[in-house]
Amino acid sequence: MKKVCVMGLGYIGLPTASVLATNGFEVLGVDVDERVVNTVNSGHIHIEEPGLHTVVRAAIGSGNLRASLEPEPADIFFIAVPTPLTAEKRADMSCVVQATERIVPHLISGNLVILESTSPPGTCRDLLTPILERSGLKVGADVSLAHCPERVLPGKILHELIHNDRVVGGFDHASAQRAADIYASFIEGETLLTDVTTAEMVKVIENTFRDVNIALANETAVLCEDLGIDFGEVARLANRHPRVNLHAAGPGVGGHCISVDPWFLVERFPAKAELVHLARRRNDGMPAHVAARTLELLEGAEAPKVAVMGLAFKGNVDDMRESPSLRVIALLEAEGVTIAAHDPYVKHSPIELCGIEACFQDADCALLLTDHNDYKYLDPRQLAKLMR
């Protein structure tokens, strides 16, 4: 039985570790948070994801999965830690660096290291390789290195982890093939082999494509407001064209992928990634636009109150990372607006949550900022009766 060490037990690391464990690998999941380690070892989960609790419980029960604060020797090392942005919109690679440094003392010839964290193009060759070679081993000759970026959607992680095609980039062809063989043992999608830098660029451009499309939708929505027409109708009819696929507009772009990854290109190519930069500016500016429009509607209201529906960055998850909702709320509160917030998925929030009726009680305005399915079944006429 091959032993696997997964560095990071977050939204990607924990599902990956659990699926590996239920497919016959001996898995050690490593996290810097003792609460996370204890939670996983008890067979429970610290994140909301459909079906994950069942898989983790089965993996722990089988004895194939355990969690620890410290890495151990293994045959295969997965790195699945965050790559957030700094305040200056630059890639913060500190978690990747620290995770890589922590496995170096345990490396032996024949090991395979797989980076799953979405990273700026060039990370594996320019950043990870020198760190791994501190072990005295040569990447390629002694240790295999590959990049297989995660491509899953929160809320559908387990299904997509198994069924999606995976791009597997290797430091050399042998590294790519070794990593592809590991993935082929537990996924049903196709493994697509390439080099590490191409794999890094593929993931970044996947999310950049979506960000640019959303920016076009958001800009179109703003133009439609000025024209006094309905963006939803414009998008619906435009998308009847067989070669048009305009995305939905919204209060901005959140999450740890689409709102983050395009900045990797802007940082690396500041003079050339002009369209990417413009799209980021448009999407990052949408919370301010929503707040400004809301304040216009509240003009004249005494001690205005706004009901906010949804804090998560997308529907049917509890993930608030980079959520536009939080930015809209902060902007409104800065103008003296009282906020009553509701989210059926979020359990731990920096903003006090209330029930849906209390949220609407005596509110002057309601903002639907997250498309949770739960909200589709509410009767807006009944909720409106609670408002001023």
Predicted pLDDT of residue 268: 95
The H-or-E segment that residue 166 falls in is strand 166-170
User: Per the structure block, which two tokens stand in for 350?
Assistant: 């920096």
Closest residue by Cα to residue 365 from 325, 289, 309, 320: 309
Concatenated DSSP letters of 92-120: --HHHHHHHHHHGGG--TT-EEEE-S---
**Domains parsed from the chain with CATH numbers:** 3-203 (3.40.50.720), 291-388 (3.40.50.720)
Predicted pLDDT of residue 56: 98
Predicted pLDDT of residue 250: 96
Query: Which residues are the active-site residues?
Result: 203, 257
The secondary structure of residue 29, as a DSSP letter, is E
Predicted TM-score (pTM) of the model is 0.91
Instruction: State residue 187 phi and psi, 5-degree precision.
Output: -110, 160
Q: How far apart are the first and last CA of the chain?
A: 65
Query: pLDDT 10s per residue in the chain (388 long)?
Result: 899 999 999 999 999 999 999 999 999 999 999 999 999 999 999 988 999 999 999 999 999 999 999 999 999 999 999 999 999 999 999 999 999 999 999 999 999 999 999 999 999 999 999 999 999 999 999 999 999 999 998 889 999 999 999 999 999 999 999 999 999 999 999 999 999 999 999 999 999 999 999 999 999 999 999 999 999 999 999 999 999 999 999 999 999 899 999 999 999 999 999 999 999 999 999 999 999 999 999 999 999 999 999 999 999 999 999 999 999 999 999 999 999 999 999 988 999 999 999 999 999 999 999 999 999 999 999 999 999 9
Going by their DSSP bridges, the two strands 166-170 and 191-195 should be labelled as parallel
Separation between Cα atoms, residue 236 and residue 222, nearest integer Å: 16
Predicted pLDDT of residue 74: 98
Closest residue by Cα to residue 95 from 121, 134, 125, 123: 123
